[in-house]
Each structure stands twice: as structure tokens, then as C-alpha cells.
Amino acid sequence: MADQTNAQSFSNAIWPELKAHSDGLQTPLKELFAQDPNRVEHFSMSAGSLYLDYSKNHLDAKALELLATQAKQSGLEDAIKALIGGEHVNNTENRPALHTALRCPAISPADKTAVVAATQAQMREFVDKLSSGQWHGYNGKPITDVVNIGIGGSDLGPRMVVTALSQFQQSAVKVHFVANIDGADLSDALAGLHADTTLFVVASKSFSTLETRENALAARAWSLSHGCPESDLGKHYVAVSSNVPAAMEFGIDEANIFPMWDWVGGRYSLWSAIGLPIAIALGMDNFDALLAGAANMDEHFASAPIEQNMPATLALIAFWYSATRGYQSQAILPYAQRMSRLPAYLQQLDMESLGKSVDRNGKPLTCDSGLVLWGTEGTNGQHSFHQLLHQGTRSVLVDFIASGKPMSPLDSHHSYLLANCIGQSQALLAGKSLAQAKQELLDAGKPEAEADQIAPHKVIPGNRPSNTLIIEQLDPTNLGALIALYEHKVYCLGVLWGLNPFDQWGVELGKQLGSAVYPALTGNECPAEWDGSTRNLVEKLRLK
């Protein structure tokens, strides 16, 4: 894969025409719909059971043509082949990014699929023992609770999936999650659990991540203090790690250490043994269905032309609004309560991948990269931040996500949920004019003077963009496809911006400095070279 720099992306032959077309395309969305009664047919697509309506964007046929050309001139077609073929697309760490090999053997290198299959067999054997009550603790009782200790990619993905697919819970074993170094997180998770029936999954590639290490050590002390003999710790701890010696030194049997590989990034790892909590909670068959859904999206991504490629289309829309219109923010609004943790998961996937200031060759970017991604589940968000979406001065790109089939027996609730989802996207599009606002007030019996005074406050500008994604139902297969869709969208944006979406060097400095602050907080003197604010904060917060 030839490295496409950021400067090259914005010196492509098509870029000036693309930017000029965006600047000139000022037709309001309502007029675009009026001009083309079949607009939705021209600005929508399906990939498997996922459906994308992107007609409520400031795009016309020429814009789509120019965006596709921009993608091709940026090398996106070759970049997709390079990703799936196992080339070292993570150039700063000189390694591939083969998360697709975890779920789609049909298009993956054979040497990777072999080790993946072996790991999945190991997972299945372990999960079967747990769910059937054959895995016993130190006193012979079967395990009833599993606590996953991990952070970042070792927590966000598994936690999101287990929450989203709670209806598919197969095992009587309950799964809990601990991530934060705040001791309250572990304490709350352990409240009500019994050491003799609790098993811990320690998920850390290096087995040295601060939060995971300290939480695992505290959990180990809890197990020992509640009656577990040190010789029996192996019955209560398994690990997902590439550092086998460190895990064994902790007290974990080598046979109960599940592998990780450097060709899978943390935020792309829920498909690996990092997904062990998913398999425990939902059963291995449902975990396989999750993988199958992602594989369907992988095959679509690998084979569909740019113009009909759903991940590429989402990426090009985000690129259009960011690069040509200055958008800084994107809201993810899943209208499904069980998908409440999807925005937090996508925050890491998107912002850790795209929050870069240099291109693949280390040269400063010539434009902004990455969007600030945020959101929550509908309809709850309507009662918190939707006010800003509708009447605020900041431009926000919005993704609505809806499930066609209800996940509860309350059908009318689901109809209200979907009605609100559609209504919100319609409101962003249509808005409310001053004349409409005034007439509403008059119809409500307000005097004309009062209507004139209040009407400006009820105006909603409209003409604000959104995408709507529909899945047939929230199940393992469709969720797998949805997650893979966003993974590939992020990769496409990395190519369009000419940056490496697979490293995260920016997270290191704060951790390094935090390690230096810790001794000062616990009694040592602050180094003289520290700034006054840091010294002051340490003095204020120093443990007495």
C-alpha cells in the first residue's frame, strides 16, 4: 500500500472541483426533495440486512460523483485490498490490522485464520464448561459470576455487546465488568459476589496496563481474603493476554490463557478472545453469529464498488461535511435502549483512530481530522441535548439508528420509539418557519402581540443533515454487521485524510506523567521543575 499523505489527498486533481461544488451547493434540503420525487431511491442503499437512508444530506448526484473520484484518487480501492490482504497498513508500528481475519476466513490470510480457529475452539471448550456447571471453584461449587477486568478495547466492546444483546443471554452465569482505576468500580462489582463461585477474566495484551493490573491485584487479594487458597487461584482466574509469563506469575494456569496478537488493535478486538465475556453471557453460538454478521459486512466492504459501498459512503459523507463545510461534531443516536453503550464504544473507535495531527509520513495535516463523536439512546436524548441539534448555532452531523422489530412485548412502545426517531430526523430537515411558529401561537389563542414576541423563540431553522440506519432487528448477526460498518467507515476516513487510524500515541504522555505524579500524591516532594498549577493540585489532593 503506497502511503497517501494528507497533502496529496488535498492536492488531488478533483479536490478543487469538489470544494467548489460544495461551496456552490446551497440548495436547502427541502428543495432537493422537491426537485427529485425519487430522491430517496437515489440516496439510499442496503448491505445485507442493514439499510441506509442518506437522502437528508446536502448532496446531489454531482457531489456523489466527485466524492467517489476523491476516494479513488486518494487510493481507497487499493487501501481496502491492503487492509484485508494483511499488508502493514499500521505503518507507524509496522504491522497489519487484520481484525477481519477474526471473523471472515473467506477473504483472510490462511496463516491467520488457522490460529483464530484454534483460539475459538479453546473459547468454546471453556464456555461450555462454564455454562454447563462443570467449571468448579476452590470448594467444588460451580461458577455463578464472571468479572471481566479490562479497560479501553478490553472493556468497551464486550460491555456494549453484552448490554445490547441481553435478551440473548444463554447462560445462568452472570457477567460483570470492571474498568476504572477508581476503586469504587471494583468494589461495586464485587458487592454481593462470593469468592468461591466468582471467576475473573483479566484482559490485557501486555498484562501491565495500570488500571487492569491494579484491579486484578485487588481482586486477587479479595479472593485470598475470602477463603480461596493461593494454590487454587487458577480455578478463579483466566487471562486474555500475549504476555504469558506475566499471567502465569500472577497465578493463572497456562492452559487458561487465551492469546492476543499484535495484528489486532485493541479497539478492534471484541471479535477475538477479548470477546470472551460476550461468549460467556450469550453462548458461543451467538458469538459466532456476531462474527458472521461482521463477516457479511467485510465481504460487502471488500467487493462493493465505492459508489455502492456502505462504509465508504458513510465515510465520504463525514468527509464532505468536515473537509468542505467545517463540521466538527457527529451525534450517534441509537433508538434502542439496549444500544445505550454504542456511542461510548464508537467514541473510542472513531476518536482514538482519527484524532491525529500528522499524516502517515509524519507531516502536519493541512485540515482538521476526526469529528467529536457523542450521543445517547433515543428517546432519552430528546430530553437533554436535542435542543442544541434543532436550534443551536453549531452544525452537527447526526446518525439515527433504528431497529425494525421490537425487543419487548410492548409493541405500542416500539411504535412510539420509531415515530420519534423518524420525527426527529424530519424536524432536522424541515424545521419551522417564523410564520408557522406565529400561526401555531395564534391557533392556540395567543394575542397577536404575544405571538409576535414569542414566535422567534420557536423558530427551528431546519436544513440540518442526518443519516438513518435501519437494522431488521437487534440480534447478534445484525449487531455484528453494524459494528463492522463503523469500523470500515473509520478506516476509509483514515485513508481520505491520509493518516494512520491504527495507532494511538497520544494517550501515552498523560499516563507517563500520571505515573510521575503518583509518588508525589502519596508522600514524596514535587519536583522543582513542575509548573505551579501541577504542584498546587498535588498539594490540594495529597493523601494525608
Burial bucket for residue 192 (CB in 10 Å: 0-12, 13-18, 19+): exposed
| pLDDT at residue 543, rounded to an integer | 72
| pLDDT at residue 170, rounded to an integer | 86
Cα–Cα distance for residue pair 253/264, rounded to 1 Å? 24
Q: Are 241 and 200 contacting, i.e. CB atoms less than 8 angstroms apart? A: no
- Is-above-0.85 flag for pTM? yes
Q: For residue 401, which of 333, 475, 485, 481 has the smallest C-alpha distance?
A: 333
| pLDDT at residue 1, rounded to an integer | 55
Strand order in the sheet with 372-374: 44-47, 50-53, 466-471, 396-403, 329-335, 372-374
Q: Are 333 and 310 contacting, i.e. CB atoms less than 8 angstroms apart? A: no
Strand order in the sheet with 174-178: 174-178, 145-149, 198-203, 237-240, 257-258
Q: Say how many CA atoms lie within 13 Å of 505 toward its Cβ.
A: 10
* Mean pLDDT (10-residue bins), the chain, 544 residues: 59 91 98 97 97 99 98 98 98 98 95 96 98 97 98 98 96 97 99 98 95 98 98 97 95 96 97 98 98 99 98 99 97 98 98 97 94 98 98 97 93 96 98 98 98 98 99 98 99 98 95 93 91 94 78
Residues with catalytic roles: 352, 383, 511
Backbone angles phi, psi at 361, to 5 degrees: -100, 10
| pLDDT at residue 7, rounded to an integer | 60
